[in-house]
Structure 1
Amino acid sequence: MIEHSHRTWRIPRPREEPLARAERTGPRRPSRLPGDAAGLLILAKSPQPGRVKTRLCPPCTPGEASALAEAMLVDTLRAARAARPAWACLVLDGPPGPWLPAGMEVVPQRGGGLGERLEGAFADAGTPALLIAYDTPQVTPALLGASLAALATADAVLGPADDGGYWAIGLRRHVPGVCAGVPMSRASTLLSQRRRLTALGLTVADLPALRDVDRMDDARAVARAAPATRFATALGEVEQAIASRRTGR
């Protein structure tokens, strides 16, 4: 059983180790990372049917929605590695799978609601960190690199999402209660989070806006914007399956 301590731990640079070991040992508590280099946290759910992207259903089946979620996660992890942050860590709800890159650090999410899980990830990281979700597969290494660099001059960064939330939040240092009172998954989430950061006395830098994938119109727009992604390919296959069901072919 994994015990969720409230002690602060720090995330090391990823070690190149085989996937089989990551699957065997599961999430582990990394050792201390020296220095103040900003790292990258990726908050995700294990892509299992019925647990992820349920607002894609219908027209997707739960299996198709999970396939799209896996493609998003793969694209996001690839961009994270290519951005070459000081360290990168997947903060995961659920077990890792064959989609996990070798050497990627994995730790379990802790906390109840989304705000608590965000705060838990920052508290556990301890060092300057940028946190993103896995449902903006169009994110590029260049954008992640620029977002990490922004933490050198700002106390916090926010990446607006088109639905009124945010796709990224970064902190130069851990601040307890950073998400306290912020309603999550609402049209007002970004505004509320910005007000909370300002109330804590933090300077906030804005990142470029991205559209996250919650519904099929989001999925189609993101695939058009990033046609070379694995997500775009997966969506094309899902759209063909949906069309076949409608025509009975």
Structure 2
Amino acid sequence: MAGKTQLGVFAKFWEPGQVKTRLAQDTNECFAADIYQAFIQATLESVTGCADTQILAITPPEKLTEFALVIPPDWTLMTQVDGDLGERMQAFFQHAVDHRFEKTVLIGTDSPTLPRTIIQQAFDILDEVDCVLGPAIDGGYYLVGCKTEIPPIFEDICWSTEQVLQQTREALGEARISYELLPPWLDVDTIDDLNHLRDSLQDAGSWLCQRINDLRLEHLS
């Protein structure tokens, strides 16, 4: 094993019609797919260097070559297993346990402005408790982390609903597993979310803000 901590990022291939479907309903499928690809890049750039081992866990497996062309240095590609989100996350954490990582954190790509300090805080929290969750404003979570024992939080959850975080916390409570919550953060799922994200980046000279503006001109004007 290369180190004690592992950071994983879940990502799908940016196929129009298969990603950011709620955003696509407000705009169009090609715009949503290009936005999603930009989110992947922004997420990886933001969190690089936060763990001893960094994994980009992708789906579908046949798009491995396309991801290999855009993945930054110091990241390793792996494919997600088949199944619902809970089954795929369960398998990811099982892989971490099998490879004897002491602390593992997993995020997605819907929160591209998530600061690296949040990731570092999550790893620090795992020194004190068994599980850490990052609440998303929409009722889900943008981050989950655990140590060497996988908590029973990936079954019997109504994924993609506003009940996800509450059901997860209830499962942790029933299993008497200690956990802490990180600060809430925005998941970008709709055009309103995207506009809020763009406005928050407007004064920072962010390349992501410029990319969003360029894509709006390309696809929506």
TM-score normalised by length of structure 2: 0.88
SS at the partner of 2:27?
Answer: coil
Sequence identity percentage? 26
Distance 1:34 1:197, change over 3 A: farther
Match for residue 112 of structure 2?
137
What do the CA deviations read for 1:69-106 (whole angstroms, capped 9, x no partner)? 01111111011214x31211011113215321133101
Match for residue 238 of structure 1?
215
1:89 aligns with 2:70: no
1:213 aligns with 2:180: no
Picking from 128, 132, 138, the partner of 1:157 is 132
Offset at residue 124 of structure 1 (A): 0.9
Offset at residue 201 of structure 1 (A): 2.1
User: Aligned equivalents of 1:55 and 1:116: distance in 2?
Assistant: 23
Whichever residue aligns with residue 38 of structure 2, its letter is A
User: Aligned equivalents of 2:170 and 2:201: distance in 1?
Assistant: 32
Higher Cα Rg, which structure:
1
Offset at residue 243 of structure 1 (A): 5.0
SS at the partner of 2:145?
Answer: strand
User: Aligned equivalents of 1:229 and 1:151: distance in 2?
Assistant: 31
After superposing the two structures, state which structure 1 stretch, 107-116 or 223-232, moved more.
223-232
Structure with the bigger percentage of helix: 2
SS at the partner of 2:17?
Answer: coil
Match for residue 173 of structure 2?
198
- Structure 1 contact 71–230 (Cα < 8 Å) conserved: no
Which residues in structure 2 correspond to 1:83-122 (within 5 Å)? 84-94=50-60, 95=63, 96-122=67-93
Unaligned runs of 5+ residues in structure 1 are 1-32, 245-249
- Structure 1 contact 41–89 (Cα < 8 Å) conserved: yes
Whichever residue aligns with residue 131 of structure 2, its letter is A
Picking from 19, 44, 56, the partner of 1:77 is 44
Distance 1:150 1:59, change over 3 A: same
User: Aligned equivalents of 2:217 and 2:77: distance in 1?
Assistant: 34
SS at the partner of 1:57?
Answer: helix
User: Aligned equivalents of 1:59 and 1:113: distance in 2?
Assistant: 25
Picking from 13, 25, 28, the partner of 1:61 is 28
Offset at residue 233 of structure 1 (A): 2.0
User: Aligned equivalents of 2:78 and 2:94: distance in 1?
Assistant: 13
- Structure 1 contact 38–172 (Cα < 8 Å) conserved: no
Whichever residue aligns with residue 43 of structure 2, its letter is T
Which residues in structure 2 correspond to 1:172-187 (within 5 Å)? 172-175=147-150, 177-187=152-162
Distance 1:97 1:182, change over 3 A: same
User: Aligned equivalents of 2:74 and 2:133: distance in 1?
Assistant: 28
- Structure 1 contact 79–140 (Cα < 8 Å) conserved: yes
Unaligned runs of 5+ residues in structure 2 are none
- Structure 2 contact 2–52 (Cα < 8 Å) conserved: no
Offset at residue 59 of structure 1 (A): 3.9
User: Aligned equivalents of 2:117 and 2:152: distance in 1?
Assistant: 30
SS at the partner of 2:48?
Answer: helix
State the superposition RMSD in angstroms. Answer: 1.8
TM-score normalised by length of structure 1: 0.78
